Structure 1
Amino acid sequence: MRYRKLDPDTLIIYFSKRDMEKYHIDFSLFMNANKEKEAQDELCRLIKLVDKEGDFAKEGQLSVQMLPTKENSGIVLKVRKFDLDEDIQNPEELLQELLGNLSQKEAQEKMMSEVKEILSVVEELIKEEEEEERRFYENWRPALQLSSPNLNDLVKVAKMNGPWHMFRQTLTYGNGRYRLLSYYKKGIDRDDVYDDILLMNEQCTPTLFETTKEIPDISKEIELNKGRKDGIFQSLNQYF
């Protein structure tokens, strides 16, 4: 998920296909005229993901446009904040309020200029997303390609290419931990590991973690404790 402010009142948000799955975004709501309330609630939720300060939180004062992306790589939202005149009663008056005193030609030129600016920003955001994913796979490739790594191997790679806290949390908290170890044992699905790491990273504090203890090969424990997550992680906890 990427976002950028064009100006104090305009926010551009880009959701990749991975983001749409990760945040359970249902864009079909926006195509259904009978689900206007649900669509508004969903829009508010998506805006809040990036609008931490609540600058765009006032209901009734947002203009939201949904824009497609090149090659259908995701969805872009253009969110604009404005102050409404309480006397405005119809869409024509609202449009005039937004455009000010511009002539029709000037208004069209302004809109085309905005569209070009948005497309340029979206292209930058997509490149940032692609670059981050490329760096992730480059950093983690040594661990991903080990045929039967032990925990020491994974920890070494995590420390070299970290952040270390991100990897530690994936191993020791939540449902993702057993899944991740199991996939390393069997031959993993890289997308599953990527999603687990990102999910766990959101729930932990961004502080580095170090351990001075030697961490053992736990592959036998994984085999012995299949289906019994607590047994494995009670053993692991003494090292973290």
Structure 2
Amino acid sequence: MEKIVILTGAGISAESGLGTFRDEGGLWAQHAIEDVATPEGFARDPDLVHRFYNARRAQAAEATPNPAHLALARLAREHPGEVTLITQNVDDLHHRAGSPQVLQMHGTLMGALCAACDHRWPAPLVMQPADRCPACAAPATRPDVVWFGEIPYGAEVIDPALNGADLFVSIGTSGQVYPAAAYAQHCRRLGARTVELNLEPSENARDFDEAHYGPASKIVPEFVETLLAG
């Protein structure tokens, strides 16, 4: 049975109305990354960071899964082999589309994390610096997202999946953020077939054996259809 590993990035959620890092006029374009997506930025101005993520959380809550999310959920249900879905996205659209297991390597907007004791709990729609941890009562609440300079989640699951993959598929990623940007090269070196599905070639397009370019809502369902057809 073919083992498939799928990596998704911001491009798969763009058609659901969630902007990517590079979108002009989007949430990210209004702020410097070092101010809103680093531990240092949070230490300098926690109010700004909470306001930024409150806006992202509200935007994600209003979004709905698109045909690309739904196609991957179908693949997980119908493929006779193993499907590992890894996402760099912090939205919950894969979950809401019905994917049974989603590894969110960069955390989730829907989670809160205590910077003092590492306790995690479901995030309210609006978070603020004065919020206290329900476990230790410290006013150290932050979004449960992995910021630049922090270690992504799930290496204990991701690494074995990559090492055993027969097919690695990257969907909607820029190829600029590590360690995820190195996954295709790693899988290809181990003999896996590598495929890129994207709006345009990524920074690491050379690491793929095959590529399909276009809107995710069109090319992902088409690719899933070919996989399931055998």
Q: State TM-score, norm by structure 1.
A: 0.28
Give the structure with the higher percent strand. 2
> Which structure is richer in relative contact order (CA contacts within 8 A, separation 6 or more)?
2
Give the structure with the higher percent helix. 1
